[in-house]
Amino acid sequence: MMTTPNNQITMSIRSSGLRGEIRCPGDKSISHRALIFGGLAVGPTTIEGLLEGEDVLNTVKALEALGVSIEWPDQLDGNGVWTIHGRGVGGLAEPETALDMGNSGTGARLLLGVLASHPLSAVVTGDASLSRRPMERVTAPLSRMGAKFECRGAGLMPIMVIGTGDPIPLIYESPVASAQVKSAILLAGLHARGSTTVIEPAPTRDHTERMLRHFGAKVETMPVKENAAASSVTVTGLPELSGQRVAVPGDPSSAAFLVVAALITEGSDIILKNVGLNPLRTGLFSTLQEMGADITITNTREEAGEPVGDLQVRSSQLRGISVPAERAPSMIDEYPILAVAAAYADGDTRMDGLSELRVKETDRLAAIADGLAACGVEAFIESDALIVKGRNGQVPGNAVVAVHLDHRIAMSFLVLGIAAEKPVSVDDDQAIATSYPDFISHMSAIGATLIKADRTDVDVNT
Ligand code: S3P
């Protein structure tokens, strides 16, 4: 991990006229899955555009500890090719050391699904943030498939998994709309004799389903008769997954920060190349367009079963809107940056259905409201809704925002600072490396001013 001396913090300063073209970093969700499916396939899988952030590198190391041979590129500059020599479904080896998933809920939960369906014992750990996040949502259904778990407290990490080599196929109705839960169960179902079905209360990102098909598995998605909002996904167990070429599209959740940066700074006009446009991920872009954002999508195409395109974004006068709860699964990681856009909008923005934000890398609902308040923006939490009182372009800033080990909180408030009246700092920029190691250099490349400042020189008013 890149380290910042303790007395240094990162500060963003009012900027204007952002210009240029940026190639988005690889999608985090798809990167984890490409590695894991490569590890479960027979024959080599090559991955281009892998996100080389810390979360994904922890999945690489965990797979290596499980006996998967992985050829790393010579340089971690995002341009290299990774080659995974998989061991086949059910073929992973017992690890000799604990598997440290760092900050990554996706890495941890998907891996728990894989470990649960192998005849091995393993310990899974993570950082302070991950150790506070609920794992029971995956350990409960995976226990029904025959795995055993010893957790700290009520379903917290570290977790000891005692997997089974003969998992029982399951039909599981998930109480939460979570792609991580769905994926953990489908991954365990790969090694079961029969079909495993997950019924989700609302459709969530379907990268697992798309990539399983790409690797040769049979996956069916169907509407649920009794509940129009729900959908069911079934995987047929014991497929022969064969190694594939995967070109990872850019991450719309990372692009989101540059999109909002361009929208809120005067005179901006930027192009973001190679952005993943899976419709179950693009809720933020349509929400911003509803708010009046000038975003044009061009050059749409398909890569490894995923829609991809380029975005042109120009500064725009945004207006507050109401964002319905049903949209939350398609933009679940984007509420911190949407709240920043809302702070610059004319009028109030209300976002409903945000209970899942309480269990992300930090309690994001509280972190957003506290950060906005520190920057002079009124925001209220009403049950699971967030209301931001837009300041029509006049955001005071002048704060040091607490990040709580959350990369998206750090990036969101650095973006807020580039159009604020006074600079905004974040108390820790190291978390950014988990998902977007090039964030600061990409922001600088399009003309945003982000600097390292001495903590003692900053007027800390939070
Ligand atoms: C992810 C799913 C989402 C999202 C996370 C990545 C995935 O979590 O917040 O960043 O790759 O499956 P939930 O499935 O828990 O909502």
Task: Answer yes or no: are the C-beta atoms of 406 and 360 closer than 8 Å.
Answer: yes
**Boundary (domain end) residue, out of 187, 218, 247:** 247
Q: Which helix (H) or strand (E) holds 400?
A: strand 397-401
Torsion of CA 408, 297, 291, 269, to 10 degrees: 80
Which is nearest to 452 in space by CA: 420, 434, 430? 430
Ligand 1 pocket test, pick from 106, 109, 112, 204 with the greatest ligand atom count within 8 Å of Cβ, gives 106
Residue 283 reports pLDDT greater than 90: yes
Range 340-357 average pLDDT: 98
Domain harbouring 65, CATH code: 3.65.10.10
Kindly give the number of the ligand 1 atom that is closest to the alpha carbon of 179: 14
Q: How do residues 210-231 score in pLDDT, each as one tens digit?
A: 999 999 999 999 999 989 999 9
In a domain, 462, yes or no: no
Q: What is the whole-number distance in angstroms between the Cα of residue 106 and the centre of ligand 1?
A: 6
Ligand 1 pocket residue status of 106, Cβ below 6 Å: yes
Residue 48 structural domain: 28-247
Based on C-alpha coordinates, what's the Rg of the chain? 21
Residue range 127-162, pLDDT digits in tens: 999 999 999 999 999 999 999 999 999 899 999 999
- Give me 158's structure tokens: 């570290």
* Binding site membership of 183 for ligand 1 (Cβ less than 6 Å): yes
Q: Which atom of ligand 1 is nearest to 204's Cα?
A: 14
DSSP code string of 273-292? EEEE--TTT-HHHHHHHHTT
Domain count, the chain: 2
Indicate which atom in ligand 1 lies nearest the CA of residue 137: 15
- Against a cut of 0.85, is the pTM above it? yes
Strands 449-454 and 8-13: antiparallel
338 with 331: CB under 8 angstroms? Answer: yes
CA of 13 to the centre of ligand 1 (A): 31
> Is the beta carbon of 435 within 6 A of some atom in ligand 1?
no
Domain boundary among 216, 247, 278: 247
Residues 99 and 10 in one domain: no
Asked whether residue 138 falls in the same domain as residue 278, the answer is: no
At residue 417, the pLDDT reads 98
Distance of CA 130 to the CA centre of its chain: 14
Same domain (yes/no): 287, 230: no
**One domain, residues 243 and 280:** no
Q: Report d(CA 12, CA 370) in Å as an integer.
A: 18
Strand 121-125 versus strand 219-224 pairing type: unpaired
Question: For residue 208, which phi and psi values (nearest 5 degrees)?
Answer: -65, -45
Atom of ligand 1 nearest to the CA of 359: 15
pLDDT digits (tens, 9 = 90+) for 404-460: 999 999 999 999 999 999 999 999 999 999 999 999 999 999 999 999 888 776 654
The catalytic residue positions are 333
CB 113 within 8 A of CB 159: no
Is ligand 1 within 6 A of the CB of residue 180?
A: yes
> What is the structure's pLDDT at 172?
98
Phi-psi region of 145 (alpha: psi -120 to 50; beta: other; left: phi over 0): alpha
CA of 20 relative to ligand 1 center, distance in Å: 30
Contacts with 457 (C-beta within 8 Å, 6 or more apart), sequence order: none
